[in-house]
Amino acid sequence: MALREIVSDDIESYSEPSLCLDKAKELLALLNLPTGLLPLKDMTEVGHNKTKGFVWMRMRSKIEHTFAAIGRKVIYDTEITAFVEDRRLKRLTGVKSKELMIWVPVHDIFIKEKEPEKITFANNTGLSRTFKVSAFQSEG
């Protein structure tokens, strides 16, 4: 499915830089995900297709962020996309985590309803890592 088809109807989109970060955090909170999960800066656009459950976020440049509580580095590309549902970002693009010496794409982020204090990051190969949700709470 092309990006153009996904974002064609029932769109909520923001391109005002002062609103983008607030709307991204608002969306994460609506999905019951920690608001510090995507610490994005210099955002140029945030969009949500409510009908298809598709979101996108665009930044001026790539961002490398270290989550101090877990000692993990993450790279956020200039465009991040995902299909969303309660407690989950799936078919995620534009996010990579450093495992040992290799950058590994993250394709799925979810919180199980039975374990709301834990968040899991998975890739397409079936490998996953689970951390405390508190490590991803918003710092600001």
**What are the extents of the domains in the chain?**
3-136
User: Whole-model pTM?
Assistant: 0.88
| 36-81 residue pLDDT tens | 998 888 999 999 999 999 999 999 999 999 999 999 999 999 999 9
pLDDT of residue 18: 84
CA distance 59 to 57: 7
CATH of domain 3-136: 2.30.240
pLDDT of residue 138: 76
CA distance 138 to 28: 11
Cβ neighbours of residue 98 closer than 8 Å, sequence gap 6 or more: 72, 73, 74, 75, 104
CB atoms within 10 A of CB 58: 19
More confident residue, 82 or 17: 82
